[in-house]
Structure 1
């Protein structure tokens, strides 16, 4: 209807009652009433069904109870055993629980008298009856005895799997230490007909101490694990279940292991993206450390260790030699790091294995693709080449790298390239491949926030092997010149310095954070207190290269980086925030000391050994001689003289403290006498003093490196190698023994050429004699138990390596540790990681190659001009000198016979020639200022004669 405004009013018309009822419309009320009636009918129907079941249950219960007498009376030869079995199955399911419990002993006795009179169906009926009894909670001891009796006489038929479904779970629930062997046997027999998936799940759920080996179990284990469906289900297990499954499988197979067993085990291990360590605590069970590592002890560890024992390893090696595409041993090495050394030892002595694995690896298309890739300036950004994701290739590569690392460790330089194992050409090819692979792993994987543990393990072992090959090449030279340098990596000095400093800052911040947490933990007694955990930041690729692969970068560039790091550190010291405001004292941070010439080492130690990293600050040394204070202002020259004299005194093997000894090539290394006396508790207080001096001498060498002061001493190669903590995984080995004592090394290696009879006449065992103050003491090589073993042809190689380890590592470990502690007060470990041992020696002592043109271009003249006759004659004489005389001249002026690594431009202060008017005097030098005081000679012959006399006179300062 329209109103006057043009809008409409809505009219509601009620066709029924005028007033709406409270319960809603008539239709709604009717619907609700129908629902109520339907619910009532459903309840009545359910009640009827329940009543029917109850009546049926009571009827069955009555029938079952009524059958008991008839069943008890059934006996004799004419018994229908099918009826006997069926009746008991009915009784076991339906009769009263008390009745059934009383019948089971008679039932067990009846089965014991059966002599193959039951068919498969009857056996299945009885098994189902026992299963039902388990569900009714009948005494499990009685049921287990009954089931064991049945299965000892009959085999469950495979066509009646439903009859025993769930029986193994009921039996497993009854397992305890007293009956576990019987229960395990039962479960194995049950699983012969149950689903093949039940068996792996069972093995993954029981403790390994409950598992043992029997022929029937071995057969069932192989049968179940050989199906692809079972393997598919195993993949879905949790990490703990997989570990337990592997432990139990190995325990069952035991000595029955065959090559075909390698594949299922390998497939299971392939699914483990974590590592397992063996705990020393024998009572320790499997423990979850973090998402990538577990710890196993006790019976679990005992079982898992079988993966490193024969015959499993022997069969797994056979599998490798047969070129199986999915070998087991690479997976074992990856998942169990503690087994790697033992596996490598067994594998490398297997004839032809190393060569065979190399041939398999190089035949892979992934190897060829990476090997052909040319290193260029775009390697960091190139998308045309990637590291292979092929599982078989990566596993084989990981395995071969581990074998090769061990091979390079245990063989001498002459043995390494045995044609049956590792040809020289193969060594060059594989090194080239490994170089490319490592670059990709370092430059690529750092771009991702998370990397699979398998690839991280591959990177770690690849870097180790590459470093071993690098060190091997330094001795053997099997690679071409400039092989290692990677050109156009896009690195410059400033970038490298900045990244190394950032990495050092990160390390120091984490150490501070951890130390704060440790202090906080000590203050709080509650063990539940949560502490901050550092999330390790990924190392920048450039830092990783400089730390672990420094040989990829030119040596000169690395020296520039080192000097740049030192210069920045000096600048930070000068900007010390502890300096008082508005102070203008340039010597505020200096360390002062009065040093007596005749007690130089003792006074220096007393003054500076406790200053720690403050030893970086400038020194203000005042010398005292027999006449009193020596004149002179320390502008750097006296400090240089002090440090030079200090190391000359302390590193002298004839020094009273005898901190260092000389090799047969006159190179220095820590005196083993300190360690030997400590072990035998001889003069322990004196040895503690010597160790304190060792720490101080580390500080002294660090100060020389920090100030760029070259020293004349040369250190042994095996001692310098321990300064590089990033490569600490490669200990000194047999090849390094020649650097200690060539004759001793050659005589020791003669054992390898002796017959078994010749070795027995030597009457050697695993201990070594060492002299201490004239008396002979015996030291075990390895554990005290191993010391009693006699050296034979079978273990002579181990004896040789134990001797080398004792001489090169064990005897100097404590002294080296103290020395490095002092050294690292001044020089950061990352700075030294950039250099190999030979380069470190050059960093300490400079280079023997003297560039005459570089020398002439970087000289300061005092009182002379470059065109003066005396100067022109001087350089003519120097040019005509032998290399030895040139080095003697450099030593005469600078105290070091070797030129600075970065040339004479880096010498501080610059090489100087000062004019002396009196030509009757001899040339003299001031080494603290690198200054040659040259009289104004006018004759070349006179200059040559007097200059040569002076530099070889060894008369000290101010020669006249």
Structure 2
């Protein structure tokens, strides 16, 4: 009986109107797919398990069999040579199929057995290559150092018994990995390196020579040197290495070489490495501080204006002491003399080798190149040999006979390249060595017959002029080996010869005039302005200036080349043109720096009240902290004993102010004694300031003096900036520093300071050793300060170094260096800080020291009256009026000093304008100031105007003019 509860199965109602049949079908298919995958997976799993089991069984069987095979090999009886080689062959098979799969302990046992048998056996190995290959395979596949050590020993034994070693690719690489990856004992290191040298180029030239780039070698090794000499030689394959690797390679070679004599093989390899190094070396610990060591002219390039591009295009590699010590051998007298001997060899191949080595050494390590040049300078007739060699070449004739300023590129392209390369290397080497000689020699011995006579020097300068301009204007630099270095030393040497000619005047006055090159200054000015803008922006943004990269529009190559002439060889451009460029740069700077608003009526002024009795102190207090702001317009009010002087500063009072500060500040007898005079009344900083600071006295007052010197630098800069000529003459050796603040004056400049001292020092060079010892000179000088004596050493411990014939030249150069550089260094530094805050040093580098003096104080002491007459504007007068005729008659009758006073009365400057009266702005004016003959002439200096009454007679006009210009009444007469 059923129990009916009233409940029945409910019907499912699909309210979403979804078709469930379709979904059920999809689910069924998906489930079927998954079931098939599961069955397939289980099937594969079972199959894989069977395969793994089979492999394991096989592995275990092989391991059991291989162990038995290895065990049999270990116990193999060796009774004769055939047994021995059979045993060796079995080892080769073991290493190929079984050995690498064994435990390290078993492998160790096998290799140890091999080493013992190889060491004890006297039998010959038939299959040497097979053994070596087998061991090399083990070497690359194992990591246990004890096993690797045994493998290395085995290889060492096998290879040492081999007379004809075949190719062993990759073995040196494997040995290097052992060396680098494991800590080896000294004995193990020695065995690995020995093995590498036994293999040498039988592996690969690259891998073997690369070992020399690694820091494995600490001492001389004749055995290794013998291998190197007989295997590597000169090769182009070193091109695969970079500069640092080549330097390490060279250093290692020299360490291995040690004290052995250099052979031709050594020179060939060293030459091939040096030829491919394109960097410069510098010691890591160099602090660039000047050391007072024995004079070797290591900084001799400072004597002229260097081409700044030479270093910027060369990479600097920093080296450690170990590498530096090894490379010193290349700069030793033994190596350099050996290379010089190659120059004299009849073999052209060896000559060319020397011409590769010596220039490369000069470029490689600038700090040591003086050693090369010094040794060249003492070779008898060395410079003559160089010059004669250069003269014999067709290129010399091409340059010397060129009827233009430079040789066109097309004329050089047809000359044999190898011959041309040898020629330029000879020229480069000669220029470097002769540049050195010009520094270490004095002007009296410059043209000695055993060096280069004056006629040869003149002919060489003819050649060098064309070379420099050809290098600058060349459109194909590949024609010149080491183009940058060649151009740098060529322009440097030409600058040196130019400066020497300034002192000795052995060339005609118009010698530097160009034949056909024309410098259109107006065309160049816009480019120069753009360059200057780029330089200033780079300085403001603390960026390195890269000339030519920031131009807004392309510039013709010829214009860029002419700009380079302006920078590196400015004397080729007329002085007046350079002055025009200089003044244009100042005008550009004024436009840039002024805050003047064209919609305002005035510009900011720097106001100062100056008492006539304390001009220097008042000027210093008012302006010394202004720095570059001192370029702004000044507004000066003068006061005398009666109070404020009359006059409105429209420019004339500023000129008066500047000239008065100059007159008082540079007076050697003023209270501060900031400057001294030479015998020719030329000014230079007082060396007493350095001496007092050196002994540690009165530092506070000396610092005040230095601050005043900086301010005077600002004043001179302001005069240049405002085109105000000043009546002051500076010593050439001091002006040299302005043109190039890094320049070191040489012995030749000592005559400007003290000609008597210079002559006496030259006499010392002709004394015998006994005569020198009688003078009891040492490398020290005695300073007398406040009646006390102090000793200053010219060299470390110089007071104990006696001067004799072996070091007399060094003594002379050290003394000259002290007088011209060391004792003036701090004062010059402060002065140039002030000067360069007003005038960029690059602007001054366009001039030599004598031109710079003209820029400062004008040309001749007298005035060109015709130029003056032709550039006058009259007001109320005609040029044929009696008063005007009388005025010019009186001017002609005046002394030069009186004419200068008249010019100063009207313009506030006692010198005629540098570029003539035509450049004076406003023009010199003469205005009729009435018929009152009692009145004195007056002037408006701000507009360069002479107010001249219409005097009726010449006597009255002369008396009134002379009274006015000699009164020195400041601006009261205005």
For the superposition of Structure 1 and Structure 2, which TM-score range results when normalised by the shorter chain?
0.7 to 0.9
Would the aligned equivalents of 2:281 and 2:316 in 1 still touch at CA under 8 Å?
yes
SS at match of 1:429: helix
Would the aligned equivalents of 1:593 and 1:620 in 2 still touch at CA under 8 Å?
yes
Query: Which residue pairs with 1:650 in the alignment?
Result: 665
C-alpha displacement at 1:79, in angstroms? 10
Would the aligned equivalents of 2:283 and 2:321 in 1 still touch at CA under 8 Å?
no
Query: Which residue pairs with 2:171 in the alignment?
Result: 167
CA–CA distance in structure 1, aligned partners of residues 481 and 728 of structure 2: 45
Query: Which residue pairs with 2:766 in the alignment?
Result: 753
Instruction: Number of aligned residue pairs: give it.
Output: 867
**Aligned with 1:334 (options 359, 363, 370):** 363
Query: Which residue pairs with 1:267 in the alignment?
Result: 272
* RMSD over equivalenced CA pairs, Å: 4.3
Query: Which residue pairs with 1:343 in the alignment?
Result: 372
C-alpha displacement at 1:409, in angstroms? 1.4
Considering Cα pairs closer than 8 Å and 6+ residues apart, tell me whether 1 or 2 has the greater RCO: 2
Would the aligned equivalents of 2:425 and 2:481 in 1 still touch at CA under 8 Å?
no
**CA 953–608 in structure 1, closer or farther in 2 if over 3 Å, else same:** closer
Query: Which residue pairs with 1:237 in the alignment?
Result: 241
Query: Which residue pairs with 1:563 in the alignment?
Result: 583
Task: Report the more deviating stretch, 904-913 or 692-701.
Answer: 904-913
**CA 120–797 in structure 1, closer or farther in 2 if over 3 Å, else same:** farther
Task: Report the more deviating stretch, 613-622 or 186-195.
Answer: 186-195
* 1:373 and 2:402 aligned: yes
Would the aligned equivalents of 2:745 and 2:817 in 1 still touch at CA under 8 Å?
yes
C-alpha displacement at 1:62, in angstroms? 3.7
Deviations 1:613-642 (CA, angstroms, capped at 9, x unpaired): 332232221111122212222232222211
CA–CA distance in structure 1, aligned partners of residues 690 and 316 of structure 2: 36
**Aligned with 2:685 (options 670, 682, 687):** 670
SS at match of 1:469: helix
Query: Which residue pairs with 1:16 in the alignment?
Result: none
**CA 490–74 in structure 1, closer or farther in 2 if over 3 Å, else same:** same
SS at match of 1:514: coil
Deviations 1:785-816 (CA, angstroms, capped at 9, x unpaired): 67754433223222222222222122222222
* 1:766 and 2:779 aligned: yes
C-alpha displacement at 1:643, in angstroms? 1.0
**Aligned with 1:553 (options 573, 596, 608):** 573
Normalising by structure 2, we get a TM-score of 0.79
**CA 876–233 in structure 1, closer or farther in 2 if over 3 Å, else same:** same
* 1:406 and 2:436 aligned: yes
Deviations 1:861-892 (CA, angstroms, capped at 9, x unpaired): 57765435565455446546676776676567
C-alpha displacement at 1:599, in angstroms? 1.6
CA–CA distance in structure 2, aligned partners of residues 416 and 884 of structure 1: 40
**CA 758–102 in structure 1, closer or farther in 2 if over 3 Å, else same:** farther
CA–CA distance in structure 1, aligned partners of residues 250 and 700 of structure 2: 53
**Aligned with 1:308 (options 331, 335, 339):** 331
* 1:223 and 2:196 aligned: no
CA–CA distance in structure 1, aligned partners of residues 286 and 723 of structure 2: 50
Task: Report the more deviating stretch, 59-68 or 239-248.
Answer: 59-68
**CA 890–621 in structure 1, closer or farther in 2 if over 3 Å, else same:** closer
CA–CA distance in structure 2, aligned partners of residues 560 and 397 of structure 1: 36
CA–CA distance in structure 2, aligned partners of residues 835 and 806 of structure 1: 25
C-alpha displacement at 1:81, in angstroms? 6.3
C-alpha displacement at 1:402, in angstroms? 1.9
**Aligned with 1:807 (options 814, 819, 844):** 819
**CA 755–613 in structure 1, closer or farther in 2 if over 3 Å, else same:** same
**CA 778–145 in structure 1, closer or farther in 2 if over 3 Å, else same:** farther
Query: Which residue pairs with 1:280 in the alignment?
Result: 285
* 1:627 and 2:642 aligned: yes
Would the aligned equivalents of 2:645 and 2:971 in 1 still touch at CA under 8 Å?
no
SS at match of 1:776: strand
* 1:296 and 2:327 aligned: no
CA–CA distance in structure 1, aligned partners of residues 799 and 910 of structure 2: 47
Q: How does 1:769-918 map to 2 (within 5 A)?
A: 769-781=782-794, 784=796, 789-848=801-860, 850-859=863-872, 865-869=878-882, 871-873=884-886, 875-876=888-889, 878-879=891-892, 898-907=911-920, 910-911=923-924
C-alpha displacement at 1:735, in angstroms? 0.6
Would the aligned equivalents of 2:737 and 2:743 in 1 still touch at CA under 8 Å?
no
Query: Which residue pairs with 2:471 in the alignment?
Result: 441
SS at match of 1:778: strand
Query: Which residue pairs with 1:200 in the alignment?
Result: 209
Query: Which residue pairs with 2:651 in the alignment?
Result: 636
**CA 695–543 in structure 1, closer or farther in 2 if over 3 Å, else same:** farther
For structure 1, the 5+ residue unaligned runs are 1-47, 283-288, 516-532
Would the aligned equivalents of 2:431 and 2:490 in 1 still touch at CA under 8 Å?
yes
CA–CA distance in structure 1, aligned partners of residues 538 and 113 of structure 2: 73
CA–CA distance in structure 2, aligned partners of residues 142 and 757 of structure 1: 72
Query: Which residue pairs with 2:263 in the alignment?
Result: 258
Would the aligned equivalents of 1:274 and 1:453 in 2 still touch at CA under 8 Å?
no
Query: Which residue pairs with 1:363 in the alignment?
Result: 392
CA–CA distance in structure 2, aligned partners of residues 104 and 276 of structure 1: 47
Task: Report the more deviating stretch, 920-929 or 629-638.
Answer: 920-929
Query: Which residue pairs with 2:505 in the alignment?
Result: 477
C-alpha displacement at 1:734, in angstroms? 0.9
Would the aligned equivalents of 2:424 and 2:481 in 1 still touch at CA under 8 Å?
no
Task: Report the more deviating stretch, 365-374 or 933-942.
Answer: 933-942
SS at match of 2:867: helix
**Aligned with 1:716 (options 724, 727, 731):** 731
CA–CA distance in structure 2, aligned partners of residues 152 and 213 of structure 1: 24
Query: Which residue pairs with 1:702 in the alignment?
Result: 717
Query: Which residue pairs with 2:482 in the alignment?
Result: 454
